[in-house]
Amino acid sequence: MNIQWDAEKYGSDFSFVQQYGGGVADLVDPVAGGTLLDLGCGNGALTALLRDRGFRVMGLEASPEQLALARRSWPDIPFFQGDAADFSLPEPVDAVFSNAVFHWIDAARQPDLLRCVHAALKPGGQFVFEFGGAGNNRLIHGALAETFARRGLPYRNPFYFPTVGEYAGRLEAAGFQVRYAVLFDRPTRLTGERGLEEWMDMFLKTPLSAFETEVERRAVLRETAEALREELFRDGAWYADYVRLRMKAIRL
Ligand code: BEZ
């Protein structure tokens, strides 16, 4: 899925992506003098955090906007442009880390992603990641499907949100041993009275491209948010119904 990111807005209004990512980074065991690849590193905030924990880090990112921001923010860290499901490294690393990226990659390309990660890791290397798991944003996608249906349009959730069992099977088939896996609800507080509309506008560009005018798109966002108010607005704030799949595996 190719998205043109507003990298500054992503890093400010949606900074929870990096804040929550710190918990995933805690699963990476320190390796003295070790090397680490941050796969889909975004603005580089978590790459820098892992550098501060002693790794010699590098980041790979597809989005030119995010990459430019990462390079400006941490000029001493090497950041490369590339596709998480089609990359190779000159030398294998001790750890591959990734936060909030794999749900953007279609199910059909997940074996390519895991093949690239396997080839990028030393034997025994750590693969630590988190992304949207089964049930992620179920309420939001369900309400959007109903808004689309009222306009006679089909709705397709464009993301890949697997179960623990499905992803563990993929990892084992790709030559990894699963050491840790958890699927958990993480209701995520959004900023502002239009927080949910802004979240959908930022992250659901592919389905929303069905609407040609700004007026139509805004009406769809408003109507969908109102349909969700009872379930997702509480104590004066909007919450997105996130479900995370967090895993750690070792490359055999
Ligand atoms: C997520 O991090 O779960 C996510 C973010 C944007 C769109 C879809 C999923």
Q: Which residue's CA is the nearest one to ligand 1's atom 7? A: 203
22: β partners: none
Domain for residue 152, yes or no?
A: no
39: β partners: 60
Confidence at residue 194, expressed as pLDDT on a 0 to 100 scale: 97
CATH number at residue 180: 3.40.50.150
Counting from 1 in the atom list of ligand 1, the atom nearest the Cα of 136 is: 3
Domain for residue 90, yes or no?
A: yes
Question: Taking residues 88-109, what's their average pLDDT?
Answer: 98
- With a CB cutoff of 8 Å and minimum separation 6, the contacts of 150 are 223
Pairwise CA distance, residues 143 & 224, whole Å: 6
Domain for residue 39, yes or no?
A: yes
Domain count across the chain: 1
Confidence at residue 196, expressed as pLDDT on a 0 to 100 scale: 98
Ligand 1 pocket test, candidate residues 1, 242, 245, most atoms within 8 A of CB: 242
| Ligand 1 near 200 CB (within 6 A) | no
Q: Which of 13-22, 131-140, 174-183, 190-199 has the lowest mean pLDDT?
A: 13-22
| Ligand 1 near 132 CB (within 6 A) | yes
- With a CB cutoff of 8 Å and minimum separation 6, the contacts of 61 are 40, 41, 42, 67, 70, 79, 80, 81, 82
Rg for the chain (alpha carbons), in Å?
18
Confidence at residue 8, expressed as pLDDT on a 0 to 100 scale: 72
Confidence at residue 19, expressed as pLDDT on a 0 to 100 scale: 82
- How much is the mean pLDDT over the chain? 95
Asked if 159 and 135 count as a contact pair (C-beta separation under 8 A), the reply is no
Asked if 197 and 141 count as a contact pair (C-beta separation under 8 A), the reply is no
Q: Which residue's CA is the nearest one to ligand 1's atom 3? A: 132
Q: Could you tell me the pLDDT band of residue 2, with boundaries at 50, 70 and 90?
A: low
Cα(91) to ligand 1 centroid in Å equals: 31
Domain for residue 81, yes or no?
A: yes
Confidence at residue 14, expressed as pLDDT on a 0 to 100 scale: 76
Domain that holds residue 16: 7-137+159-191+240-251
pLDDT per position as a tens digit, 104-158: 999 999 999 999 999 999 999 999 999 999 999 999 999 999 999 999 999 999 9
* Strand 121-132, strand 93-99: pairing: parallel
247: β partners: 129, 181
Q: Where are the alpha helices (DSSP H) in 53-137?
A: 64-73, 110-120
pLDDT above 70 as % of the chain: 98
Confidence at residue 162, expressed as pLDDT on a 0 to 100 scale: 99
| Ligand 1 near 136 CB (within 6 A) | yes
Domain for residue 168, yes or no?
A: yes
Q: Which residue has the higher pLDDT, 211 or 7?
A: 211
Cα(156) to ligand 1 centroid in Å equals: 15
Q: Residue 174, class by beta-carbon neighbours within 10 Å (0-12 exposed, 13-18 middle, 19+ buried)?
A: buried
Q: Could you tell me the pLDDT band of residue 5, with boundaries at 50, 70 and 90?
A: low
Domain for residue 60, yes or no?
A: yes
Pairwise CA distance, residues 250 & 252, whole Å: 6
Domain for residue 147, yes or no?
A: no
Confidence at residue 55, expressed as pLDDT on a 0 to 100 scale: 98
Domain for residue 2, yes or no?
A: no
Counting from 1 in the atom list of ligand 1, the atom nearest the Cα of 242 is: 3
Q: Which residue's CA is the nearest one to ligand 1's atom 5? A: 203
Cα(152) to ligand 1 centroid in Å equals: 26
